[in-house]
Amino acid sequence: MSKPIILCVDDEKVILKSLKAQLKSAFGNAYIYEIAESPADALELIDEFNDEEISIILIVSDWLMPGMKGDEFLIRVHQKFPKIVKIMLTGQADEAAVKRAFNEANLHRCLQKPWSESELIETIKTALSL
């Protein structure tokens, strides 16, 4: 049985590296940490893992990304995989988009960039203990 996956989606490599480092530091080898630089890549990864019966338990996604905004991405994920916990990180999401993500994607939490590492880790711990 493979370890569950936490997927981070952001179009900025430096943010993905930072998220992955913070998650590894907090949770060690409890999870596999995957990254995607676009919602399209993330959707592809999610389908691949699903085909291999490896579960993604949590997604941390940016909002403002080229091609597809984070709320739209998380809604699409939710329609196919409602059990995945979804957290949005944003520096500039509009209120309507955040509201839509809460209502249509069952968004667990929206954190502002720059985020606090302790707040992110605490949010994930809370989300995974539900």
CATH number at residue 93: 3.40.50.2300
The domain tally of the chain equals 1
Q: Are 70 and 63 in contact (CB under 8 A)?
A: yes
| pLDDT category of residue 1 using cuts at 50, 70 and 90 | low
- Amino acid 108: pLDDT: 97
By CB neighbour count within 10 A (0-12 exposed, 13-18 middle, 19+ buried), where does 108 fall?
buried
pLDDT tens string 60-116: 999 999 999 999 999 999 999 999 999 999 988 789 999 999 999 999 999 999 999
* 33-54 mean pLDDT: 97
Q: List the domain range (segments joined by +) for residue 114.
A: 5-128
- Amino acid 54: pLDDT: 94
